[in-house]
A and B are shown apart, each in its own frame.
Chain A
């Protein structure tokens, strides 16, 4: 451990000064999987953001003359059993799924990191916070979601309308029920990091606790946080589809990837495209985000960087 650290110190005067993120980018660039992940993910995001402007078909319009159609110029991914255009639904559904995935992930990440750092850094808080984490882990997720949604659905619906209200609720619900893994991992890392020499050094010169955490501890636990983030997106997308399927999520005619997949399941033999496309979209998103996380983690770890 000590050896590479001294090596960096020794090299420093010889090399041009570079910022951390430049270093990270240089290392990241060498990770083929991560680059492919970034391209695929960027492609999906661009398609979902700008696709509906190019393919201007209402995803909820039922064209009864065109039910269960195959691929055609008008319907690049065919239609479902009520004549809705699959491509338009995929694009619209992607917006929702990605938005839910990212926002819920961010929420879970912030919560999890906060709890994890506090628990790992302050001995006094460790016990109570970890028991709280255990408590959340022990809660059965679906019954809890049922209760939360039942209690707050009408209030939020009245305040923000059916779709944004449910969006906020779902993001919140997924976020507050999936931060526990991150908290545990971060706590473990913080426990190790806070005993390291540089933290002791910072403390000995009188740096404030808050500053130590933000400046010295957090950057060193970034890699597990990144991995949690990639896991979190996937979990959020999948939890959202489970909720929609149970009728607790968005209205049934509001497409999301998870719902499209569930709805298409019965039609797998008649119009396999209805299952393939949403399944592929979810898989590719999760896979690409995962590779990005993998690359980021390697790039952020000074021990792996430059190898």
Chain B
């Protein structure tokens, strides 16, 4: 808040107290800022305009060039993949006629290719028909080395994609692919129109602003106006393949504000029909929804709020060439490298208390990094659901960490003093405070730090405050995986993925833990075909992560969104875009 320009008032008495009240009222005004009044108030005739509010604004409508959920979901109203996941995590064909499998011959017996057959009745919103060439082009677009495609992991091991005729497309893998549904399943890998994006291959991908901001799609809506980081206006795609849909004639996708103001805009003021990702204290949501104008929807997918435990030394005095770097194990953390300490930290946390204070119906205590789908969810770690402070204290005593005069444990001059960071969000700060108190009970001192989400998750290699840099002992955030198969997700914690300057700090093994057994199992998972065997391996991988406390899972979080009572047909989906069935929405 920059108030410098208010000076120069010599009498001063009139202007100044207003400043303080300005702060007091900031809550209200900040919320208003993100919420423009709805375009058309409901009249006697049903209002066929849909107002959607995402408190993070969309910055592009090309999902291949964005890792942000908000961008992918905003784009999912326009561009579509071959198949979606429904709200139960099952694949449903969208642009394809059916889901290929080994049984129906769509997936070859050697698991090295998958053949999709397109529906014949799909047109782009400019009237031209969708063909297999569009699909093949979309793959080539993302797999181009210089494109900087964000969904590249979905195309892992793809050798080539070939169009066979106008309505059949075959994806050939370089290795047997037990789960060949990476490309073109789910909203992160939609089909782009070849005619529109032909000139945007490679380095030119980022420069094609017109294409990226106004993609031509097959979805229920088309883009009328795109204002980056602000608002998107859509109108119905007249040539949509299902007659009579979408019910809404126009739609607005507004961004900005924060989670609480988004919740208020749907639940209290009714200005918006749908609001996304409401990480707000449960009692606040409850009091907002008491008015009956809207309801909160929850869907459990794979979101897990967890603590990442730094296995490398993050001492600020080490300097950039050592601090929080793995260095082949030569830079262990002074006390978190001791497994007894990590176990005690996990044991001391009462996860149910964290849920009650910060999540309510939107969260459940969990002991797994992969909490769903059910076949992948391990039950081997469930004892962490009940905290055990005496046992944690005993473990630390046994390991030689003795309480000093100030009540903080130490061994050989190393104090159990933790710097614990997370992003700025009142629920997260509440959780931090609770964990600090729980760790206080076992003689561990905690210093809390919160970092603006834009910086923490921004991934800027020059900033010391990103979660990848991890210049702290422990940090907390949520992560999940797209779709229902955890292979790519679990493969993110192999040794080579430890972030560092050599990979521009983009590695996903944020705890920087390294066990040969884990890496070997990840390799085995990639080669295993049967669903049950895959599930067994995935569980073992999860157990290695959790039992060694490389990560300390806390809360299995639901996707939490709100709809106004007048909006019908919403089926909140935790496996794909929440707007996956926006064509079916109506009043």
Contacts and interface: CB of A to CB of B under 8 A. Distances in A.
Given A68-B283, A290-B12, A150 B464 contact: yes
Interface stretch (A7-15, A42-50, A200-208, A261-269): A261-269
A287 B19 CA distance: 10
A231 B12 contact: yes
A286 B521 CA distance: 63
A77 to B, nearest CB: 16
A285 B16 CA distance: 11
A267 B260 CA distance: 10
A214 interface: no
B452 A246 contact: yes
B449 interface: yes
Nearest to B280: A266
Interface string B431-445: 011101100000000
A90 interface: no
Give the secondary structure class of A's interface: helix
A76 interface: no
A88 to B, nearest CB: 14
B8 A266 contact: no
A17 B23 CA distance: 48
Given A227-B11, A246-B452, A294-B13, 15 more contacts: A64-B353, A81-B283, A81-B357, A140-B2, A142-B2, A227-B10, A241-B1, A246-B424, A251-B448, A262-B27, A265-B260, A267-B283, A269-B287, A279-B23, A294-B12
B23 A251 contact: no
B39 interface: no
Contacts of B449: 247, 251-252
A82 B471 CA distance: 28
| Nearest 8 CB-CB pairings of A with B | A265-B27, A181-B7, A279-B24, A154-B316, A283-B20, A247-B450, A242-B1, A282-B20
A81 B281 contact: yes
Interface stretch (A21-29, A113-121, A232-240): A232-240
A163 to B, nearest CB: 9
Contacts of B430: 81-82
A253 interface: yes
Given A227-B12, A252-B432, A141 B447 contact: no
Contacts of B424: 245-247, 252
A293 B7 CA distance: 14
Nearest to A224: B10
A82 B433 contact: yes
Contacts of B87: none
Given A82-B433, A141-B4, A283-B17, A261 B24 contact: yes
A69 interface: no
B451 interface: yes
Interface string B347-359: 0000001001100
Interface string A249-282: 0011100001001110111111000010001001
Contacts of A178: 4
A106 interface: no
A162 to B, nearest CB: 5
B543 interface: no
Interface in A97-127: none
B386 to A, nearest CB: 16
Contact of A286 (B11, B16, B429, B471): B16
Interface of B: 1-4, 6-13, 16-17, 19-21, 23-24, 26-27, 260, 280-281, 283-284, 287, 316-317, 353, 356-357, 424, 426, 429-430, 432-434, 436-437, 447-452, 463-465, 471
B21 A247 contact: no
A19 interface: no
Given A61-B437, A227-B10, A239-B3, A275 B24 contact: yes
Given A181-B7, A239-B3, A231 B16 contact: yes
B291 to A, nearest CB: 11
Contacts of A246: 424, 452
A199 interface: no
21 contacts: A64-B357, A68-B283, A81-B283, A81-B430, A181-B4, A184-B8, A231-B12, A234-B20, A239-B1, A245-B424, A247-B451, A252-B448, A253-B433, A253-B436, A265-B26, A266-B284, A267-B281, A268-B27, A282-B20, A290-B17, A294-B11
Interface in A146-168: 150, 154-155, 157-158, 162
Contacts of B353: 64
Contacts of A258: 23
A279 B21 contact: yes
A285 B17 CA distance: 9
B434 A62 contact: yes
A177 B5 CA distance: 12
A137 B20 contact: no
A261 B30 CA distance: 14
Given A251-B448, A252-B429, A82 B16 contact: no
Nearest to B462: A150
A67 B358 CA distance: 12
Given A158-B316, A228-B7, A251-B448, A286 B1 contact: no
Contacts of A87: none
A220 interface: no
A35 interface: no
Given A142-B2, A162-B447, A239-B1, A263 B426 contact: yes
Interface string A62-89: 1010011000000000000110100000
B23 A261 contact: yes
A238 B19 contact: yes
Given A235-B3, A282-B20, A247 B357 contact: no
Nearest to B450: A247
A234 B21 contact: no
Contacts of A60: 433, 437
B319 to A, nearest CB: 11
Nearest to A249: B450
Contacts of A252: 424, 429, 432-433, 448-450
Given A142-B2, A269-B287, A251 B447 contact: yes
B283 A270 contact: yes
A129 interface: no
Given A62-B437, A64-B353, A150-B464, A266 B17 contact: no
A266 B281 contact: yes
Contact of A238 (B1, B284, B356, B450): B1
B12 A230 contact: yes
Contact of B27 (A33, A275, A290): A275
A57 interface: no
A221 B305 CA distance: 58
A180 interface: yes
Nearest to B285: A266
Nearest to B454: A246
B277 to A, nearest CB: 15
A268 B471 CA distance: 35
A147 B577 CA distance: 37
A262 B26 CA distance: 8
Nearest to B281: A81
A258 B287 CA distance: 24
B4 A180 contact: yes
Contacts of A285: 20
A276 to B, nearest CB: 8
A291 B16 CA distance: 10
A161 to B, nearest CB: 9
Given A158-B316, A270-B284, A275-B24, A82 B7 contact: no
B284 A185 contact: no
B448 A234 contact: no
A275 B21 CA distance: 11
B528 to A, nearest CB: 43
B279 to A, nearest CB: 11
A269 to B, nearest CB: 5
A299 to B, nearest CB: 15
Contacts of A177: 4
B425 to A, nearest CB: 10
Contact of B434 (A82, A137, A261): A82
